[in-house]
Amino acid sequence: MSRIIQIQNDFTSGEIDPKLRARTDITQYKSALTTAQNVSIQPQGGAVRRDGTKFVHELDAGAANAVRMVGFEFSVSDSYMLVFTPGKMYVYKNRALVTNINGSGNDFLAVATLTASILPEMNWVQSADTVIVVHEDLAPVKIVRGATDSDWAASTITFDFVPKHAFTLTVTTGSSYNTGVSHDHIEPSGTSGNITITAKHSGSDANIFSAGAATYIGQYINVTPFGRLRIIRKVSAAKLECFAEVPLFDTGNVDDADWEYEEGYEETWSSSRGWPRSVVFHEGRLYFGGSKQRPSTIWGSRVSDFFNFDPGEALDDASVEASLDTGTFNAIVDMYAGRNLQIFTTGGEFYVPQALDDPITPANLIVKAQTFFGMKPGLRVQNVDGATLFIQRQGKAIQEFIFSDSVNAYTSDKISLLSSHLLKSPEEMAVRVATSTDEGDRLMLVNGDDGSIACYTLLRSQNVIAPSEWTTEGEFINIGVDVDDIYVIVKRNVNSADVYYVEVFDPDTLLDSATTGTTGPSVNMAHLEAETVQIIRDGIVEPTQVVGASPHTVTFVSAATATFQVGLNFTPVMKTLPVEPNLPSGSLKGFKKRIFEVNAELFETQSLSINGSLIPFRSFGTNVLNSSVQDFTGIKTINSMLGYSYDGQITVTQDVPLKMSVLGIEYKVSIGQ
């Protein structure tokens, strides 16, 4: 029999896939966990009890069908979380519901077109006081914040010009066009740029363009041997103003047999043809990506004229258009404005290159394919420290789309390679940027299978990718970030009925769906009627209570003098990987092991259990029984642990809702021969 000392200095690999239990050769094994549930990994290496949630508001019954969250930052001091249920938009500011919207007496804005079928895959972008919402079955909607927090308006966007496309194309020769009127040629006023063409017969104007003006706009006149003219407007029944996309050979008369009228071009977006499904602002233009009948095309507005997609004379500030033609189906589902305009489709990832940071113009717009993983529709891309993150089409991997100077192209790597088991049909993704050195950026994904959250702590500069899993008494349904506040929609079963609550994660809260306060003998907990709740009063954990019927009062053992919080408890769990020290004799997998002593390095911790044994944190003395547990920083030791196993693992849990922060673990192992 031999004894060894093993140490795990950090947990910066987080919870790794069970399929990696045999990979003792990889670096991440030494800093990983088998289970990291309801903990957050810190970039310094420790693991802490995750933040609890505060109850904010109960949503209407429509949330059972669909719900979506949109962060809205109006100014440095004014930001909101917009929560959509079918036909309604709720507004939250500073973790509270904004009431009496537009003085109507309602606590929501009616948006009838945002139905349950629209919300799961709707796409949006914000500029100043306006959010633009799109979906392939929705005429684009703009939602505008007015003069106050409660002033909001929603309306369908009216475009100044909609790009055209020939869904049904008809070509008529000049001699056959409008045969009811005599004509023998057309006369162009120039060869390039904006020109006017006049239909003539025997030297006089021939009134052959007799239909309404809108009939001609966006249609074409082709000239043999050279020339393609896009009609801009109707001047008269004999004259059309055109732009020469292909210049004419000269200004000579064009005989009827040498020109043709090309028609069938109609508005690309309409109720019959479908609407754009993605939207973004980039360098002064509003871009739409993909539509129901043109899924692989992007359109950019005129510069600083966001609802005008008129190509005009193809000058630098005119609208732009391009299609992604690669030989495979690429339905555009999202776009991101980074160092380049990035385009994400169901079949691959693309970008618009800009030489020497030149602006995008009609003359230089091209789209280049980069990688071919494809993106899952409905989940918006997120940016973390210059890398664009997206969920792969089948929902099995998180991809990182980032520009590599070494290959002068974008690459896409799987950041979830070691933790794919935590992705269970993800339905929403959000990022909270780090606000202090004690935390990294947080990437959070809501799983549709079990209502858990896969939370990744990311610190690119140190190659930290540390996943953990968050659960609650119920199911997380959706998630969104308002600057630094993380909002969630939670489905809970309360008093035998399903309810949908808006809650917000709070670093000072140790419970879920909690109500907090400062002083008082009791608190109203109507939103948790008939549920068993945990009480923390002035830092003391009181016995649990069941919330009674009206008036739903939870009375404390003693009146709170400083703080209280009442809510649902959750249990953090950390379990190490099987011990596998590097010994000259080789692997120890076939030997039984016993961990007989553990030294846990703790920081400001009040409660902890190791392998089922509760660690003492109180010391005997005066005023011990009616005071809070003091924060402990240092090493706690547990020994005299019994039992052999082939794994030799340590499980850290917490029975009561108090502070917990584990920085590292040193343990002594006895190896059976």
Q: Are residues 638 and 557 in the same domain?
A: no
> Does any domain span residue 523?
yes
What total number of domains does the chain contain? 3
Domain holding 234: CATH number?
A: 2.40.10
Identify whether 200 is part of a domain.
yes
Asked if 466 and 14 count as a contact pair (C-beta separation under 8 A), the reply is yes
Q: Are 82 and 149 in contact (CB under 8 A)?
A: no
Q: In terms of domains, do 580 and 662 share one?
A: yes
670 confidence band (pLDDT: 50, 70, 90): confident
Residue 353 lies in a domain: no
In a domain, 632, yes or no: yes
pLDDT for the residue 585: 61
Residue 622 has pLDDT above 60, yes or no: no
Same domain, yes or no: 563 and 582: no
Tell me: pLDDT of 1 over 80: no
Query: pLDDT digit string (tens) for 548-579?
Result: 988 999 999 999 999 999 999 999 999 999 88
Q: What is the pLDDT of residue 407?
A: 85
State the Cα torsion 650-656-662-665 to the nearest 10°.
-20
Residues 6+ away with beta carbon under 8 Å from 204:
none
Residue range 250-277: mean pLDDT, rounded = 94
Whether residues 615 and 653 share a domain: the answer is yes
CA distance 285 to 291: 18
Instruction: Tell whether the model's pLDDT for residue 179 goes beyond 90.
Output: no
pLDDT score for 499: 97
- CA–CA distance, 505 with 487 (Å, rounded to integer): 7
Q: What is the pLDDT of residues 330-347, one digit of tens each?
A: 999 999 998 899 999 999
List CB contacts of 662: < 8 A, sequence separation 6 or more. Answer: 11, 46, 47, 48, 574, 600, 601, 602, 605, 608, 652
Q: What is the pLDDT of residues 465-504, one digit of tens each?
A: 999 999 999 999 999 999 999 999 999 999 999 999 999 9
Residue 16 maps to a domain: yes
pLDDT at site 290: 94
**Residue 461: its pLDDT value, please?**
79
Q: Are 523 and 513 in contact (CB under 8 A)?
A: no
Model confidence band, residue 174 (pLDDT cutoffs 50, 70, 90)? very high
Residues 619 and 558 in one domain: no
Residue ending a domain, choose from 568, 590, 608: 568
Rounded to 10 degrees, the C-alpha dihedral 622/625/630/636 comes to 100
List residues bridging with 403 in a β-sheet: 410
For the segment 615-636, the average pLDDT, to the nearest whole number, is: 77
User: Tokens 């930052």, residue?
Assistant: 73
How far from 178 is each of 26, 173, 206, 223, 261, CA to CA, in Å?
77, 10, 11, 17, 10
Question: How remote is the C-alpha of 79 from its chain's centroid?
Answer: 17
Residue 119 in any domain: the answer is: no
Q: What is the pTM of this model?
A: 0.91
Q: Is the pLDDT of residue 159 over 70?
A: yes
Half-sphere exposure of 299 (CA within 13 A, CB side): 24
Q: Mean per-residue pLDDT for 44-59?
A: 96
pLDDT-derived band at 625 (thresholds 50, 70, 90) equals low
Stated as kind and residue range, the H or E segment containing 216 is helix 213-216
At 121, give phi and psi (nearest 5°).
-120, 20
Where among 236, 267, 298 does a domain terminate? 267
595, 646: one domain: yes
Give the percent of the chain with pLDDT over 70.
Answer: 97
Residue 648 is given by DSSP the state -
What's the confidence (pLDDT) of residue 583? 63
- Domain-embedded: residue 367: no
In this prediction, residue 595 has a pLDDT band, given cuts at 50, 70 and 90, of: confident
Residue 358: strand, helix, or coil: coil
Distance CA 608, CA 661 (A): 9
Q: Does residue 405 carry a pLDDT above 90?
A: no
What's the CA angle centered on 654, arms 649 and 655, to 5 degrees?
125
Same domain, yes or no: 195 and 237: yes
The answer on 554 and 595 residing in a single domain is no
Which domain range does residue 236 map to? 173-267
Residues 634 and 581 in one domain: yes
Sequence-ordered list of residues with C-beta below 8 angstroms from that of 302, at least 6 positions apart, any chain:
285, 308, 309, 310, 312, 317, 318, 319
**Structure confidence by residue, pLDDT tens digits, 355-370:** 877 899 999 999 999 9
Residue 140 forms part of a structural domain: no
What is the rounded CA–CA span in Å between residue 579 and residue 372? 39
pLDDT in tens, 215-258: 999 999 999 999 999 999 999 999 999 999 899 999 999 999 99
| 620 has a pLDDT exceeding 60 | no
**pLDDT band at residue 588 using 50, 70 and 90 as cut-offs:** low
Average pLDDT, rounded, for the chain: 92
Decide if pLDDT at 313 tops 90.
no
- 406 pLDDT higher than 90: no
pLDDT given at position 114: 96
* Widest distance between CA atoms in the chain: 117
Q: Are residues 593 and 521 in the same domain?
A: no
In this structure, are 219 and 179 located in the same domain?
yes
Each residue's pLDDT tens digit, 282-301: 999 999 999 999 999 999 99
Q: Which of 267, 292, 313 is the C-terminal boundary of a domain?
A: 267
Cα gap 226→254, rounded to integer Å:
11
Q: Which residue has the higher pLDDT, 437 or 631?
A: 631
Cα(412)–Cα(414) distance, rounded to whole angstroms?
A: 7
Residue 462: which of 48, 44, 46 has the closest Cα? 44
User: Under a CB-based contact definition with an 8 Å cutoff, are residues 132 and 139 in contact?
Assistant: no
Which residues, other chains included, contact 254 with Cβ-Cβ below 8 Å and sequence gap of 6+?
174, 185, 186, 187, 188, 223
The pLDDT confidence band at residue 586, using thresholds 50, 70 and 90, is low
